[in-house]
């Protein structure tokens, strides 16, 4: 693959999981990478695993804060010049029952999972359009952005939003030299199921409440036994090189998309039938 050779990529959530695997894969394919994360200790360790100090730089970045993302964008351009690939990958999970989720926790997950993506696009897109060298924006959503389950309303809401936002962005950029992809994986090995310990309602105190959620143990088992982040990262780079918009990884998840489609069309047709009787 030569599409990434001597190009510059910016990756949020790069200290672990998919973000780290993407950074490793990008460097392996010849790219220069700015690894961004809020976790300074793990970020430094992740960069040291990759090595290649001439191709890898790190920056502490809070994806939930616009000023932090803008500062990271400037630092990336100062270090490597034009940026060609932006991976808005940072994300957290939050489970709970509707009516029993703190509003400040809702704001927390929206700020990271949705606005973190928006901040990345707004910080990088104008410069990408100006340098005229082409590029690609890659937003991490989830299969949770295509169908829903109970006890995960905040996560589903943000991931559905990222899918819709990415679709709109792709329409705006159609015909330009800047592509868009949205990542929609199911189970990829990471520690995302423990991300909720950082939510504001916990306020730094030990938290076990997420583990009493009905979906916690099943989700943890599925993630722990999921696809390796390294394998998924290679799929992502192949998909970007082929200018593919949606990036899926799970053959078993298609049934859920089909089911949602059928439910939508059934109600759509039923409503139109009812309209015939309304004058």
**Residues with catalytic roles:** 155
Could you tell me the sign of the dihedral formed by the alpha carbons of 43, 106, 188, 181, in that order?
A: negative
β-sheet bridge partners, residue 10:
34, 86
Write phi, then psi, for 56 (nearest 5 degrees). -125, 130
Q: Which residue has the tokens 């703190």?
A: 102
Write phi, then psi, for 278 (nearest 5 degrees). -105, 125
């Amino acid at each position: 693959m030569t599409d990434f050779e001597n190009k510059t990529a910016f990756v949020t959530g790069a200290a672990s999981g998919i973000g780290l695997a993407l950074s490793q894969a990008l460097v392996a394919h010849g790219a220069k990478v700015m690894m961004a994360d809020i976790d300074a200790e793990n970020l430094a360790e992740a960069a040291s695993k990759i090595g290649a100090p001439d191709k890898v730089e790190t920056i502490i970045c809070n994806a939930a804060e616009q000023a932090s993302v803008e500062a990271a964008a400037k630092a990336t351009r100062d270090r490597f010049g034009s940026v060609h690939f932006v991976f808005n990958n940072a994300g957290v999970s939050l489970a709970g029952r509707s009516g029993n989720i703190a509003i400040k926790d809702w704001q927390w997950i929206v700020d990271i999972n949705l606005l973190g993506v928006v901040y990345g696009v707004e910080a990088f897109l104008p410069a990408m359009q100006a340098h005229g060298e082409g590029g690609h924006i890659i937003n991490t959503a989830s299969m949770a952005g295509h169908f829903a389950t109970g006890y995960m309303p905040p996560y589903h809401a943000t991931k559905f939003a990222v899918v819709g936002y990415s679709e709109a962005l792709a329409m705006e950029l159609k015909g330009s030299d800047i592509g868009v992809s949205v990542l929609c994986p199911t189970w990829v090995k990471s520690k995302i199921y423990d991300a909720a310990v950082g939510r504001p309602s916990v306020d730094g105190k030990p938290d076990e409440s997420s583990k009493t959620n009905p979906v916690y143990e099943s989700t943890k088992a599925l993630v722990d036994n999921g696809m390796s982040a390294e394998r998924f990262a290679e799929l992502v780079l192949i998909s970007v090189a082929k200018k593919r918009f949606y990036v899926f990884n799970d053959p078993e998840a298609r049934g859920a998309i089909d089911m949602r489609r059928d439910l939508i069309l059934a109600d759509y047709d039923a409503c139109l039938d009812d309209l015939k009787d309304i004058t």
